[in-house]
Structure formats: structure tokens, C-alpha cells
């Protein structure tokens, strides 16, 4: 059959309406949808791809380009005719076109129009946009992804710069003993929604960055995330040594030298890429210290273009730079010794006309202290006029942490503010909840989701309907868990009886608690086991059972983190916990989505105040989950006594052992005395009305405040607009 003919099955059903549409035409529309990650936060479009082939869809990480690549236009047309997908494809395609064309009536056009020709350049080492684009490891990446999705939705002029990792972060498997192993898989570039970025003359771009021992080259990819262009630098190019071709293969892989070279490519290479693209940013936003070399290259540009001195250019560039710090853990800040810095920044330093000591001074708290290494957070703070932490509490911690940079100031005057993190609601909200919100909030919530007033209408929701929707999502989570747990058992070649048991693990009526995060020891995944006997009794109560779902990766070099995973995973061999505590391997955006959409309770128990913000609990809120958390990060400013549960009173003992013991006791106490009784308190109609009231209170008080739309609006109003004008402010760093 030629591609202009209509397959007979399609023609039979829809001849009258669709006789104009050829299979190729239909296929092209699907591909156009697949090539802009806009689809990933539109459940109707996600469902459309899934319906083309539900089994393959799951097998290939929900990647629509990979799916379409396996199908011919005729096959797509045939599937579409069987399911009458034609209308849905056409509608989705039209919506995408309208979305892309509509740049004049957005919030950004009204409120951030001055950024128009000189956009924000948003730098981040990772972007978590969708599980099929594996260039993220965890929280920082998901935050960056949510940031640019909301920037797209609000119409804020912004371009994003990151690195392309062709192996991404590792895939996690656990062996029979619960020990984590890491596997790196090559990503097929042709299956990703990106293309070579081109300069204004249409030529693909390669940037070069000089080091003392030769040049590093990187090509530049362009990925479409709604209206936002995401540019990704990739060192796998001719001209690089074989070793350097692998420089950007893995996220957070390699040694210190790999790290500084990646950061050189991201920061300095990123600025060069923008210049080659003909983009003149009005604001540089450095999301975490990884990209903090970027302002040095911008300073060089200003000296070259405008004949400024180094000092003049530094002041000028800092005025246009915004820096966000994410790490309250001292070891989390990248540091490099003088040799590393000189090897990689020596040539740039010479162009800047500054001495080795001057350059090192920019990365030191005490510029003259030769014993101090070069810290990326310090240079980030010194080269930006506005700096922020990511929650109110983290703001306090950061001001104390970096007070010695401004020894003449009292702590409250340390110029680090805070903008609390938020999540991109359309990405994390389950479709049945979207439909519920459409019904009760009116469809305008889609454009006003960052405004608290919109969410007040949730109090009018019918409790039975909310509960039923939540339970449907909980069933979906349980199905997912069973599928995964039995797959894990099959992969380990376990006993048929164990594999069979996995198929019915967990109880749909039991109180279900989720815990998923990086397995770093300060996050204390095993806190609930401090009173192990008491916990076992609580879980095993036949009238009021409780169950826990865990997921999370440990950094490959983090042995204590891996031991924690092992401890949790091996509970399946303990008869007191078997079937009640499960560990899902390979935590990623897909696992996260299932968990935050289906749990009753989201648990978070880090050692206060080490959690900068946390965002996974915010995702649970949107879907009706209740937070049960240490008063740390975002929860310290979110909890009101009625919108979830707290562990500890917002204090921490300086003795870690005492602190952990107290928090562990409080966890079990709150669970036993508050959470379990409230969950199982049913009225005559069988509904837990008080529990549902908390769900409603949680959504009403938290959804807008902890949305990425609110966050991006804050960045625009408190940081970008000021930086675009080059104005100094009360957050002034120098």
C-alpha cells in the first residue's frame, strides 16, 4: 500500500470525516507530539501513546519516539481506527500548536515581558523531565525539570542549559542479599526528543573550552520542553581524546577531575553555546554550584565586547546573576584544589588578566588563605548579586553556614534569602485527580494553579468522591508494586512460591505508607526500626494493618547507604514484616509518580536540619496523600497541625544518638496514637471523615504554595526582574 492510501479498516469507520488524512499525516502528527516533552504533562496525550501499544509502552520506559519508531504509519493508522484515536490525535496536535503559538497572553508576557529579548539562562547539572529522558539522578534534577515546565506554562522567557549524559544515572538492582548493584545503559540518541542545536546561520554548534593541557570540545543538543528550549552539551565528539569523549557519559560518575571538567563544560561551555546560538541572556541563574564557573566566561565576554576592566565586568555580571544553593551538608559542596583549578581555568584566568591567587580567592571564604580549597558555592555567592536557599529553614541554615563570607554582618543581614521549592502540578497529578479538580475547581485552575484562592473550592468536594478517587489510585499503586516485586523475584531466579507470593503482596485496605528518596544515612530510612518490636506489632494488627513501600538509590560509592537499603530490603525475609514492607528497585520518575499518587501517607524523617527542602511530599499532597514528616525543609513551614502529621517538635538534639532515639520514638508514637486511629475511624457510611478532612485541608493549604508555578513567579518577581535591571537590592551580596 502506498502511504497516501487509507487502510481499509480506518476508511470503513471514519471515511466521512477522515478521508483527507493519510496514515503518514497521522504518523507525523504523533511524531510532532512525541518530539516536544509538552506531552509528558498532558495525561490525555500520554494515554494516547499508551493506547497505540500498551505493552510496548511499558517495556520501553514510556518513550513515544521509540514506540513510533517500531511502527509504520499504516500500523499507527490501523490502531487509531480500531480505537477511534483520530479525534484525540488531532485534538492533541491542535492543542500543542496553540500552546506553542500563544506567547502573548501568558502570565510571563504580562509580568515578565522585559525579559523577552534577553531571557533568563537557567543552568543546571541535571534535568528530570520524564523517565524516558534519563539525564537526572534525583531531587535537584526533578526540581530543574519542574522549574522549566512551569516557566513554559507561565510563558517566562527562559532558556535552559545542561549536560547530555548518554548513560545517565545508573539502573539499580538488588541481589538476593539485598545488595545494590549498578548498571549503566547507553541511551539511544535517536529515541530522544532532541536535535542538533544550530547557530543563526543554520550550522550545528560545537563549542571549545581551553584547558592548560589542550581543548575540550562539546556539541550542543536542543530539546523542546514546551515553550522552553533546553540546550544540552555533549562531549562525545571528534576532536576529544577517547577519555574526554566519555566525559559527559555519566551523571556524578568518575573522580574529582571528571567532576571539574564536567563543570567547566557546563559553565564555561554553556555560556559559549549561548553566544554561538545568538542568545543574549539578561539574567544568569545558577541552579546549585555546579555551573558557577559560568560568570567567569561572561566576565570575559564583557571585557572583550565592552572594553571593561575585570573589576567593572565582575560587578556588572554579578548584578545579572542569581545563585541558588541546595545543600546544607558541608560535604555536599564541590571543592577543588589549586592544581585542578589552574589546569582547567588557567587559560581563562589569563584572558581575564588576573593572578592565580586572585582566582583562588574567588572560591575561598578567606581569599588569602592558601590552605583553603576552591569551593563552587563560594564563587557562586561571590559572583551573584542575589542568592537564595530553597526553604525558609534552609535560608537560616545557609546564612549561618556562610556568615564568615561577610564577617562584618550579623546573621540576619547575610544576603542569602530563600525561595521554597515547589512541584509542577500537571506532572505529578494523577489523571483521575485532574478530573476531580476540573469538576470542583473549574477548569481555570489549570492556568491559576499557583494561586491559593483557587484551591479553597476543594472544601466543597464530596468526601465520598475524593475517597473513592484516592482508593482507585491506591489500587493502581498496589498493582504496580505487585508487578515490580514479582519481576524483581523473577530476575533473581527465586523460588516459584516466592514469585507467586509477590503477586498478592500488600493489602488494598491497609494503611499504606510510602518512603522514597536517596539512601543517604542522614535521611534515616531505618528510623522506623528503632523500636522494631513495637513497629512489628503495629504493622501486624489484623484489625488495623499498616504497610510500607520503600524505594531509593544509594550513590555507588556510599557503602553505608547501601547497607541501609539492604536492611530495609531484607525485611522481606523477616516473618514479622514479610508482605508488609516492600522495596521497589530502581527509583525513578515513574516509580515516584506511582508512589506519590497512591499512598495514604508520605513519610520523611531526615536528621533536622539537613533536608534543604524536599519535594516528594509536595507531590503526595496534590494527590490526597498526607505528609508525616520531621519538621525540616519545606514541611517546617507547611505544617499547620491539621494538614498532615509531624515527627519531633522542630528541634534537634546535638547528640546524634539521642536525637535519633527521640525522633524514632516520636515516629512510632504518632503513628500509633494519631495516624492509625484516625485512618481507621470510620463513620456509619464507612468513610474516614476526619481523615478526609485532613486530605482536604492539606490540598487547600499546600497545593498552591508548594507548586512550581508559585516558585517560578517568586523567582521572576524577587530575583529575575531585579537582576535583569541590574539593580542592587536588599539581598545584595557585596
Ligand X SMILES: *Cc1c(COP(=O)(O)O)cnc(C)c1O
Q: Single out the residue of 142, 161, 225, 527 in contact with ligand X (rule: CB under 6 A).
A: 142
- Asked, as a colleague might, if the bond just before 716 is cis with ω within 30 of 0, I would say no
- Cβ atoms of 33 and 21 within 8 Å: the answer is no
526 binds ligand X (CB under 6 A): no
Instruction: Give the containing element (helix H, strand E) for 661.
Output: helix 656-670
Distances (CA, A) of 171 to 174, 186, 585, 587, 701: 10, 11, 9, 9, 36
Beta strand extents in 212-282 (DSSP E only)? 214-225, 228-234
User: Smaller CB distance to ligand X: residue 342 or 663?
Assistant: 663
User: Smaller CB distance to ligand X: residue 73 or 598?
Assistant: 598
Q: Report the site for ligand X in 119-138 (rule: CB under 6 A).
A: 138
- Cβ atoms of 228 and 160 within 8 Å: the answer is yes
x/- track of binding to ligand X for residues 603-632 (CB under 6 A): -----------xxx--x-------------
The 3-state DSSP class for residue 296 equals helix
For residue 110, the minimal CB distance to ligand X (Å) is: 30
422 binds ligand X (CB under 6 A): no
Q: What's the rounded Cα separation, in Å, for the pair 184 and 690? A: 47
User: Smaller CB distance to ligand X: residue 49 or 587?
Assistant: 587
User: Smaller CB distance to ligand X: residue 450 or 606?
Assistant: 606
Q: Single out the residue of 23, 119, 139, 281 in contact with ligand X (rule: CB under 6 A).
A: 139
User: Smaller CB distance to ligand X: residue 265 or 711?
Assistant: 711
517 binds ligand X (CB under 6 A): yes
User: Smaller CB distance to ligand X: residue 385 or 705?
Assistant: 705
Q: What's the rounded Cα separation, in Å, for the pair 235 and 244? A: 7
Length of the chain: 734
Distances (CA, A) of 428 to 36, 51, 193: 18, 21, 21
User: Smaller CB distance to ligand X: residue 167 or 421?
Assistant: 421
For residue 614, the minimal CB distance to ligand X (Å) is: 4
x/- track of binding to ligand X for residues 573-592 (CB under 6 A): --------------xxx--x
For residue 277, the minimal CB distance to ligand X (Å) is: 30
Q: Which three cell numbers stand for residue 516?
A: 522514597
For residue 602, the minimal CB distance to ligand X (Å) is: 9
**DSSP one-letter code for 264:** H
Q: What's the rounded Cα separation, in Å, for the pair 617 and 663? A: 19
For residue 506, the minimal CB distance to ligand X (Å) is: 21
Give backbone dihedrals phi and psi of 388, rounded to 5 degrees, phi first: -145, 150
- Cβ atoms of 716 and 662 within 8 Å: the answer is no
Q: Report the site for ligand X in 251-310 (rule: CB under 6 A).
A: none
Q: By CB under 6 A, how many residues form the interface with ligand X? A: 12
For residue 587, the minimal CB distance to ligand X (Å) is: 6
For residue 165, the minimal CB distance to ligand X (Å) is: 16
Instruction: Give the containing element (helix H, strand E) for 270.
Output: helix 270-277
Q: What's the rounded Cα separation, in Å, for the pair 105 and 708? A: 20
For residue 580, the minimal CB distance to ligand X (Å) is: 23
User: Smaller CB distance to ligand X: residue 389 or 539?
Assistant: 389
User: Smaller CB distance to ligand X: residue 33 or 568?
Assistant: 568
Binding stretches for ligand X (CB under 6 A): 138-139, 142, 517, 587-589, 592, 614-616, 619
Amino acid at each position: 500500500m502506498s502511504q497516501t492510501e487509507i487502510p481499509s479498516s480506518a476508511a470503513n469507520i471514519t471515511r466521512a470525516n477522515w478521508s483527507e488524512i493519510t496514515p503518514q499525516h497521522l504518523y507525523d502528527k504523533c511524531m510532532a507530539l512525541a518530539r516536544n516533552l509538552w506531552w509528558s504533562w498532558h495525561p490525555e496525550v500520554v494515554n494516547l501513546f499508551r493506547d497505540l501499544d500498551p505493552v510496548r509502552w511499558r517495556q520501553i520506559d514510556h518513550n513515544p519516539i521509540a514506540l513510533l519508531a517500531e511502527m509504520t504509519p499504516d500500523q499507527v493508522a490501523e490502531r487509531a481506527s480500531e480505537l477511534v484515536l483520530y479525534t484525540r490525535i488531532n485534538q492533541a496536535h491542535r492543542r500543542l500548536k496553540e500552546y506553542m503559538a500563544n506567547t502573548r497572553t501568558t502570565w510571563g508576557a504580562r509580568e515578565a515581558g522585559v525579559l523577552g529579548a534577553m531571557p533568563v539562562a537557567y543552568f543546571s547539572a541535571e534535568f528530570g523531565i520524564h523517565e524516558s529522558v534519563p539525564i537526572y539522578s534525583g531531587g535537584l534534577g526533578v526540581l530543574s525539570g519542574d522549574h522549566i515546565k512551569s516557566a513554559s506554562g507561565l510563558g517566562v522567557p527562559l532558556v535552559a542549559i545542561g549536560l547530555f549524559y548518554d548513560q545517565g544515572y545508573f539502573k539499580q538492582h538488588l541481589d538476593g542479599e539485598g545488595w545494590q548493584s549498578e548498571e549503566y545503559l547507553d541511551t539511544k540518541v535517536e529515541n530522544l526528543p532532541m536535535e542538533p542545536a544550530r547557530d543563526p546561520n543554520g550550522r550545528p554548534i560545537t563549542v571549545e573550552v581551553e584547558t592548560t593541557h589542550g581543548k575540550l570540545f562539546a556539541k550542543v543538543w536542543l530539546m523542546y520542553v514546551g515553550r522552553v528550549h533546553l540546550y544540552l552539551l555533549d562531549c562525545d565528539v571528534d576532536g576529544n581524546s577517547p577519555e574526554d569523549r566519555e566525559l559527559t557519559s555519566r551523571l556524578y560518575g568518575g573522580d574529582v577531575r571528571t567532576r571539574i571538567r564536567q563543570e567547566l563544560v557546563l559553565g564555561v561551555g554553556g555560556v559559549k553555546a549561548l553566544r554561538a546560538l545568538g542568545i543574549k541572556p539578561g539574567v544568569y541563574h545558577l541552579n546549585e554550584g555546579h555551573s558557577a564557573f559560568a560568570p567567569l566566561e561572561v566576565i570575559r565576554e564583557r571585557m572583550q565586547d565592552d572594553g571593561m576592566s575585570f573589576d567593572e565586568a565582575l560587578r556588572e555580571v554579578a548584578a545579572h546573576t542569581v545563585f541558588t544553593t541546595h545543600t546544607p551538608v558541608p560535604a555536599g559542596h564541590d571543592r577543588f584544589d589549586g592544581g585542578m583549578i589552574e589546569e582547567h581555568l588557567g587559560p581563562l584566568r589569563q584572558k581575564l588578566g588576573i593572578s592565580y591567587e586572585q582566582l583562588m580567592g574567588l572560591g575561598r571564604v578567606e581569599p588569602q588563605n592558601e590552605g583553603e580549597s576552591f569551593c563552587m558555592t563560594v564563587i557562586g555567592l561571590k559572583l551573584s548579586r542575589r542568592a537564595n536557599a530553597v526553604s525558609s529553614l534552609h535560608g537560616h541554615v545557609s546564612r549561618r553556614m556562610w556568615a564568615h563570607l561577610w564577617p562584618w554582618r550579623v546573621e540576619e543581614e547575610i544576603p542569602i534569602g530563600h525561595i521554597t521549592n515547589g512541584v509542577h502540578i500537571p506532572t505529578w497529578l494523577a489523571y483521575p485527580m485532574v478530573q476531580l479538580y476540573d469538576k470542583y475547581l473549574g477548569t481555570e485552575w489549570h492556568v491559576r494553579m499557583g494561586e491559593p484562592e483557587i484551591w479553597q473550592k476543594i472544601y466543597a468536594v464530596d468526601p465520598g468522591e475524593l475517597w473513592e478517587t484516592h482508593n482507585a489510585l491506591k489500587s493502581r499503586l498496589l498493582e504496580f508494586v505487585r508487578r515490580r516485586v514479582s519481576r524483581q523475584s523473577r530476575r533473581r531466579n527465586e523460588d516459584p512460591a516466592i514469585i507467586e507470593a509477590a503477586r498478592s503482596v500488600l493489602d488494598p485496605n491497609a494503611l499504606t505508607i510510602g518512603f522514597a528518596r536517596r539512601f543517604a544515612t542522614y535521611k534515616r530510612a531505618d528510623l522506623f526500626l528503632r523500636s522494631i518490636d513495637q513497629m512489628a506489632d503495629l504493622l501486624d494488627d489484623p484489625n488495623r494493618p499498616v504497610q510500607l513501600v520503600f524505594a531509593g538509590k544509594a550513590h555507588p560509592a556510599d557503602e553505608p547507604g547501601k547497607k541501609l537499603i539492604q536492611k530495609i530490603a531484607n525485611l522481606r525475609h523477616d516473618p514479622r514484616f514479610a508482605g508488609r514492607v516492600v522495596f521497589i528497585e530502581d527509583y525513578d520518575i515513574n516509580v515516584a509518580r506511582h508512589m506519590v499518587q497512591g499512598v495514604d501517607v508520605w513519610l520523611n524523617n531526615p536528621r533536622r536540619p539537613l533536608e534543604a527542602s524536599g519535594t516528594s511530599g509536595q507531590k503526595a499532597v496534590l494527590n490526597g496523600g498526607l505528609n508525616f514528616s520531621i519538621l525540616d525543609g519545606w514541611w517546617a513551614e507547611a505544617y499547620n497541625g491539621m494538614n498532615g502529621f509531624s515527627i519531633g517538635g522542630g528541634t534537634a538534639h546535638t547528640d546524634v544518638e539521642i536525637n535519633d532515639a527521640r525522633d524514632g520514638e516520636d515516629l512510632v508514637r504518632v503513628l500509633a496514637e494519631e495516624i492509625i486511629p484516625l485512618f481507621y475511624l470510620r463513620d456509619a457510611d464507612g468513610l474516614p471523615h476526619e481523615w478526609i478532612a485532613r486530605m482536604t485541608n492539606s490540598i487547600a493549604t499546600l497545593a498552591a504554595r508548594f507548586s512550581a508555578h508559585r516558585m517560578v513567579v517568586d523567582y521572576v518577581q524577587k530575583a529575575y526582574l531585579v537582576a535583569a535591571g541590574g539593580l542592587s537590592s536588599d539581598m545584595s551580596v557585596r
